Structure 1
Amino acid sequence: MTLRMFGSALALFALGGSALAQQPQPQPQSRLVPQPPAPRPATPLPAAPRMRMPANALLPATQALFDGYVRDGKMPGIVGAFGVGDFPTLFVTAGHIADGADAARADADSLWRVYSMTKPLTAMAAMLLIQDGKIRLDQPLSDFFPAFKTMRVLTSPDTSLASVPARHPILIRNLLTHTAGLGYSIITKGPLLHEYERLGILPGVIDAKSEAQARLVRPKTLAAFANRVATLPLIAEPGTKWSYSIGLDVMGAVIEKASGMPFDRFVNTRIFAPLKMTSSYWTVPASEAGRLATDYAFVGDTRVPIDAGRTSVWLSPPTFPYGGAGLVMSARDYDRFLHMLQDGGTLEGVQVARPETIALMMSNLLPAGVTFGGIGGGTGGTQGATPMGFGAGGSVFLADGPGGFPGKGTYGWGGAAGTIAFVDPAHRSRTTVMVNYMPPEKWPLRADLAHALAADTARFGR
């Protein structure tokens, strides 16, 4: 693939994309394994000496965009990781990991809260257990936690707790695709939100103050968390509606039970260690605090620190590992994860998963009749014009984007503090962007990045 193609793909990655559309329906059988898309004919990249040029020379418009964001006070620092094939990843960086003269420069190994970009990692762990035969895609959740056997469904979710018995069981597929009917404190409304808050169904960390309050009511273990979730009614009949949820957090409890080891240890052992992801943490060690970015919130146009890196709440162990939003990672590490997905389960000669496992993970796993129309950036979601489905833990393009980019099968997700990640296996390319500010839709980073990469692409077309 040429660098022109690479730039086009990356530009569209930055846009994300989704739309309500007629979509091909997935087969419900868990044994169905789709074939990965055939790679497109590739032409050689520039010679190796050119690839050793600094990223800001290869992608000057992207570098200028990042520099401008920092110069204009939109963020203290930003890192982008852009990869194609097995060539060296290009890292474009600007600014620092926090305000202040003593803050470290943002680079490939800086640490960032990835929030919902944790979900694809949790989904990967689940897929490994499906590969191992310890979980089935269409297995009832109640096989692992019997409390889910008799669920109830709200009749007026936004206004009442009135409910009726559920007609269908929650399946593992539903947890992975946000079709279980579970809620989420960031989007749930009305009486059910009050119950989630009262019972501590709050699997995530923002800052020390909110964390201290959450710990007073949050269940103390993943198993206790799952069993408490089972006491609450659902917002929809399982398997009938896509609704962003705590499904991947409950999935963490299933992974723990099915694997026979703590959820975080399973992820560390089966994913992080073989991929040499040495800067991915559920709890940031005190020795690494100097690499951790400060998280900011915007009050109007004023950027206010809400969790300073050197004193971060992420330096203390969480109540339990949060499968939906619990990781701090570097751009280098997230790129290694995407690189493995791009290459069908193998990185640098080490096989983490079989190619068919990766193909299944990044296929449209939505139950028959369910569509995915996209959600806003505040939840880590994507919006756009290309029809999308949903795989295990992330959105999936159901068709090629304009001009063939991104390719059909492009998979990814984002985070609530602005992070972005996509992989296009058909074109063997990937992108990661790391920032930490809320709300992420404060600035049009995805759209601006698309324009910058398009400008960089045009240079290679001349």
Structure 2
Amino acid sequence: MAYREFDRPALDRRALLRGGALLAGGAVLAGTPLSALMAQPSMAPGKNPSVYWPSVNAFVSKFVDAREVANIVTVLGWGQQPPTVIAKGNLAIGQTAPAGLDSLYRIYSMTKPITGMAAMMLIDEGLLGLDQPVAEILPAYGEMMVQKTYDGSITDLEPAKRPITIRNLLTHTAGLGYGIVQRGPIKDYFEAQGLVPGQVTRLPIPELGRSRPVEGLMTFADRLAEAPLVYQPGTKWSYSVGLDLMGAVIQKVTGRPFDEFLKEKIFDPCGMTSTWFRVPESEVGRLTTNYGIMNGMPVPIDPARASIYLDEPAFPFGGAGLVSSPRDYDRFLRMLLGYGSIDGKRVMSELAVRVGTSNLLPEGVDLKGSWIEGQGFGAGGRVTDGAYGWGGAAGTVALVSFKAGLRAGMFTQYMPSDALPISSGFPDALQKDLAAMEARKTAA
């Protein structure tokens, strides 16, 4: 397919990558107890999902039938039971290959919970401490400087009043910036220094910029240490590159490449055979196309067979770098819902899961005006009354509700994710079906 210039509104990297983190997350699931739902005949595996998940089924059909997106795959599972899959659409608009449980999606910030759980493993093993200063592992972070004015001058600085800790990295309270969030001189500085831990496309779309990430995870960490913080550590929740820096911490502590550590400790034990930082050429036939929503229309910005995810990344982006399948991510959620176990195999300890999916925010941190105001945050994901999860910038979202005993994932590909009411609409549809199930149970 040939690509041409389109008449379109401004489409910038910040707008594309910000939306996935706006997900309301598990709040809609937290109040529904497992005992109220699991006993119902409607929850038996293999039942027709269009009958027993009518709102979710209608939600999927609405957007795919209107060709607003190429596909949507939802994966819903109770406890350790096999998942129910509701899938519609094809890998790309105009193609015939259907999207399904084993299709490949750019999960962007849904990488963060995986990195967070990897860190929890090391905390559980005593190789890291939750409140350990990062400078004990990466000495360059020992004397950080902070902007006196948020997104202001990068030379009018003051010393950090307290050290950055592992807890801060996990919960976006380190005061670190993010090129997709910041504005002004510090955004320009990040781009000039290659502090760009993410990728969108090979295509020369001017609005996205062409900043290239610095080569190598430890080089990224070294350069990031030279950048000013945007907030004093531990004072404000601010979406950041904290989980990308956590990848460097994990690599330094273990002496293993970060991506190899994830494969050995999480992907292989969980049976996640389709999760990579780089998609193998042999698997491109499963890769979906990513779209930019321009003038209300989906336009290919990362077509599967020319995807940037077929290239070796500059380093494994622990905050937003993975491609995965709905089946694989559901297995990660199953492991969490099993408190560290899946298919009889112990992947991480129950304590590590319980702590990592609990509210780890530092005492007194300011959440006012943030994406998680009134909620909590754990190891890389939002925490809301018994639920844990996060979303991705290209329209994906996943969570576990420990109270309901439910795992839920929704996968599609478009940017920015707030251009369509899909990330927000999925939890709403889910809640409608759960409420109907509970009502039937009460009436029975």
Please tell me the TM-score bracket, short chain as reference: 0.7 to 0.9
Q: Is 1:59 paired with 2:29?
A: no
Aligned residue in 2 for 1:231: 226
Aligned residue in 2 for 1:391: 378
Aligned residue in 1 for 2:98: 105
Q: Residue 106 of structure 1: SS of its match in structure 2?
A: coil
Deviation per residue, 1:52-97 (Å, 9 max, x gap): 2232332233222211211112101000011111222111111112
Please report how far the alpha carbon of residue 371 of structure 1 lies from its aligned counterpart in structure 2 after TM superposition.
Answer: 4.2
Q: Is 1:437 paired with 2:424?
A: no
Q: Is 1:362 paired with 2:357?
A: yes
Alpha-carbon RMSD across the aligned residues, in angstroms, is 2.3
Q: Distance in 1 between matches of 2:152 and 2:239?
A: 19
Aligned residue in 1 for 2:391: 414
Aligned pairs for 1:299-318 within 5 A: 299-318=294-313
Aligned pair in 2 of structure 1 residues 373, 389: CA closer, same or farther (>3 Å)? farther
Out of 153, 163, 174, the residue aligned to residue 160 of structure 1 is: 153
Q: Are the counterparts in 2 of residues 298 and 304 from structure 1 also a CA contact under 8 Å?
A: yes
Q: Are the counterparts in 1 of residues 119 and 246 from structure 2 also a CA contact under 8 Å?
A: yes
TM-score (norm 1): 0.84
Aligned pairs for 1:133-148 within 5 A: 133-148=126-141
AA at the equivalent of 1:412 = G
Q: Are the counterparts in 2 of residues 373 and 388 from structure 1 also a CA contact under 8 Å?
A: no
Aligned residue in 2 for 1:73: 67
Deviation per residue, 1:155-207 (Å, 9 max, x gap): 01222121011111111111111111100011111111111011010010100
AA at the equivalent of 1:418 = G
Give the number of equivalent residue pairs: 410
Q: Residue 280 of structure 1: SS of its match in structure 2?
A: coil
Aligned pair in 2 of structure 1 residues 58, 250: CA closer, same or farther (>3 Å)? same
In structure 2, list runs of 5 or more residues that go unmatched: 1-21
Aligned pair in 2 of structure 1 residues 50, 174: CA closer, same or farther (>3 Å)? closer
Q: Residue 85 of structure 2: SS of its match in structure 1?
A: strand
Please report how far the alpha carbon of residue 212 of structure 1 lies from its aligned counterpart in structure 2 after TM superposition.
Answer: 9.7
Q: Is 1:278 paired with 2:273?
A: yes
Q: Is 1:85 paired with 2:72?
A: no
Aligned residue in 2 for 1:16: 25
Q: Residue 88 of structure 1: SS of its match in structure 2?
A: coil
Aligned residue in 2 for 1:32: none
Please report how far the alpha carbon of residue 131 of structure 1 lies from its aligned counterpart in structure 2 after TM superposition.
Answer: 1.2
Aligned pair in 2 of structure 1 residues 337, 153: CA closer, same or farther (>3 Å)? same
Deviation per residue, 1:418-440 (Å, 9 max, x gap): 11111111221111100110111
Aligned pair in 2 of structure 1 residues 203, 448: CA closer, same or farther (>3 Å)? closer
Q: Residue 163 of structure 2: SS of its match in structure 1?
A: coil
Q: Distance in 2 between matches of 1:245 and 1:59?
A: 36
Sequence identity percentage: 44
AA at the equivalent of 2:100 = D
Deviation per residue, 1:208-244 (Å, 9 max, x gap): 14799433xx322111110100011111111111100
Aligned pair in 2 of structure 1 residues 240, 459: CA closer, same or farther (>3 Å)? closer
Q: Distance in 2 between matches of 1:207 and 1:303?
A: 15
Please report how far the alpha carbon of residue 447 of structure 1 lies from its aligned counterpart in structure 2 after TM superposition.
Answer: 4.2
Aligned pair in 2 of structure 1 residues 348, 305: CA closer, same or farther (>3 Å)? same
Q: Distance in 2 between matches of 1:241 and 1:135?
A: 23
Aligned residue in 1 for 2:15: none
Q: Are the counterparts in 1 of residues 106 and 323 from structure 2 also a CA contact under 8 Å?
A: yes
Deviation per residue, 1:286-326 (Å, 9 max, x gap): 11101111010011212110000122110111011000000
AA at the equivalent of 1:16 = G
AA at the equivalent of 1:191 = P
Q: Are the counterparts in 2 of residues 166 and 237 from structure 1 also a CA contact under 8 Å?
A: yes
TM-score (norm 2): 0.87
Q: Distance in 1 between matches of 2:330 and 2:143?
A: 41
Q: Are the counterparts in 2 of residues 17 and 374 from structure 1 also a CA contact under 8 Å?
A: no
Aligned pair in 2 of structure 1 residues 110, 374: CA closer, same or farther (>3 Å)? farther
Q: Distance in 2 between matches of 1:293 and 1:354?
A: 34
Q: Are the counterparts in 2 of residues 157 and 235 from structure 1 also a CA contact under 8 Å?
A: yes
